[in-house]
Copies of this chain bind each other. A is one copy, B any other.
Amino acid sequence: MAGSPSRAAGRRLQLPLLCLFLQGATAVLFAVFVRYNHKTDAALWHRGNHSNADNEFYFRYPSFQDVHAMVFVGFGFLMVFLQRYGFSSVGFTFLLAAFALQWSTLVQGFLHSFHSGHIHVGVESMINADFCVGAVLISSGALLGKTGPAQLLLMALLEVVLFGINEFVLLHLLGVRVWGGMEWGVGGGQGQPLSQEHGGGGGVLPLHLTAPPQVRDAGGSMTIHTFGAYFGLVLSRVLYRPQLEKSKHRQGSVYHSDLFAMIGTIFLWIFWPSFNSALTALGTGQHQTALNTYYSLAASTLSTFALSALVGEDGRLDMVHIQNAALAGGVVVGTSSEMMLTPFGALAAGFLAGTVSTLGYKFFTPILESKFKVQDTSGVHNLHGMPGVLGALLGVLVAGLATHEAYGDGLERVFPLIAEGQRSATSQAMYQLFGLFVTLMFASVGGGLGAGLLLKLPFLDSPLDSQCYEDQVHWQVPGEHEDEAQRPLRVEEADTQA
């Protein structure tokens, strides 16, 4: 039945209808709610008598472009490693990201920059939206090859909402006292994922009460990596396929697909310093965060090569490790790179993350499937899950060591509540730890109950066990060589077997 005409007809309509519906609904919500903020709208800006050179655009947009390259080039090509799933890997990443950035502009906007009935957008909403997209793509990495595009869109629909709520809880609800508005100015960036709110609050828009972040997580070790990874892993558990070995022969890479994946790896690696620093405080805040991330990534690269050769058959390196674990250094300093981590601390953290991640690929991924029934296609548990949790714990440690001496005036930027005397460093550390716990809850329950049940809706198009990791299910695929007119339709044969 699976390969029957009725199924094909269903498939023909499911993806386009969902795309059209989601885009239509988003557009209507944009029309009603979304407006330029005062840094984007000339009429509002000039009322404030600011110089054009002070526009936050110039301090954030170059970082945004790097983040944008990571999301679309980095994630897109990193997932091309599968031998017959390249079109889907880069194509569905593209589709998911294009939808999720719009949807998260709305969700984050409602939660964080909703004033007088409108969401106000600017360069920081673009960065925040791309960050949320990052989490969605991390989750999709666990499902890669085993879900159709309509399923992935539904996952994004739910995940973006949960991402926004989790972030809101961490930043605003894990504490009590509400804080007054802050002055606006080039020097007044807030160094946290939602600073557009604070920025907007004190400028030309009607002031409303804003709170400093209760938990710090500038580069998203918790909110992006841990959340995205465990959301995807729990979802993958719910969608467990006991018969997946029917597609085993397509689960590996071929020579050139590994080279394409390295394009993704390298772009993620080089731009990660911009990712972690994109929304930290202007000036020394961005400067230090970028520097820490740069060192951490270098160290994780060396430990990945070391461990990969050490555990590899015959001492040979494994491309999967290099493509992924070398990036763990960026994940592990996501929380702490804006803090006084020190260059040595960055190296040590990166080294640890590369080690844990490589060992995870070698030893834990097989157990994850056999014992925990989690089929983690691209190993997000190793690249984002464990390093994300480690990064959150590192944040606990570094926050607990914060002193006035070490941070100077910077303490007010990174830990305003400590600077104001409302919290001790130890208490901040406890809040950070609680933030990790909350994130794991949201990710697991959301991924499991919500998304899991949603994606199992029986009418949703999902590839057969024998058709996983195969582009032809969703794409018109040309032959591999010039002489083949078209790759033979092996999928259809598989269909009839099923």
Contacts and interface: CB of A to CB of B under 8 A. Distances in A.
User: Which range contains the number of A residues in contact with the other chain?
Assistant: 35 or more
A317 B475 contact: yes
Given A45-B283, A317-B475, A51 B187 contact: yes
Given A51-B187, A302-B95, A123 B262 contact: no
A314 B282 contact: no
A19 interface: yes
Interface stretch (A218-226, A237-245, A246-254, A385-393): A246-254
A46 interface: yes
A28 to B, nearest CB: 8
A467 to B, nearest CB: 13
Contact of A43 (B13, B30, B45, B407): B407
A113 interface: no
A230 interface: no
Nearest to A66: B65
Contacts of A94: 266, 269, 301, 322, 326
Contacts of A306: 15-17, 19-20, 23
Interface string A20-34: 101100110011001
Contacts of A299: 23, 27, 98, 102
23 contacts: A12-B312, A12-B315, A16-B305, A34-B344, A36-B291, A42-B283, A42-B285, A42-B410, A42-B414, A45-B408, A50-B283, A51-B187, A53-B53, A53-B54, A55-B286, A58-B58, A62-B62, A77-B263, A83-B478, A90-B266, A94-B301, A126-B294, A317-B475
A44 B408 contact: yes
A330 interface: no
A446 interface: no
B347 A9 contact: no
Q: How many copies does the complex hold?
A: 3
A156 to B, nearest CB: 12
A157 interface: no
Interface string A44-80: 1111001111110111011001101100110011001
A309 interface: yes
A35 interface: yes
A314 B493 CA distance: 16
A371 interface: no
Interface string A405-418: 11111110110000
B80 A259 contact: yes
* Residue among A40, A149, A348, A405 having the largest count of chain B Cβ atoms under 10 Å: A40
Chain A at the B interface: SS class: helix
Given A15-B306, A318-B476, A40 B410 contact: no
A315 to B, nearest CB: 3
A373 interface: no
Interface string A318-351: 1100100010000000000000001110011001
Contact of A149 (B9, B86, B305, B319): B305
B121 A291 contact: yes
B8 A315 contact: yes
A487 interface: yes
A45 to B, nearest CB: 5
A138 interface: no
3 closest residue pairs by CB, A with B: A42-B410, A43-B408, A12-B315
Interface in A294-310: 294-295, 297-299, 301-303, 305-307, 309-310
A431 interface: no
Contact of A84 (B41, B269, B343, B482): B482
Contacts of A381: none
A288 interface: yes
A22 to B, nearest CB: 7
Contacts of A42: 283-285, 288, 407-411, 413-414
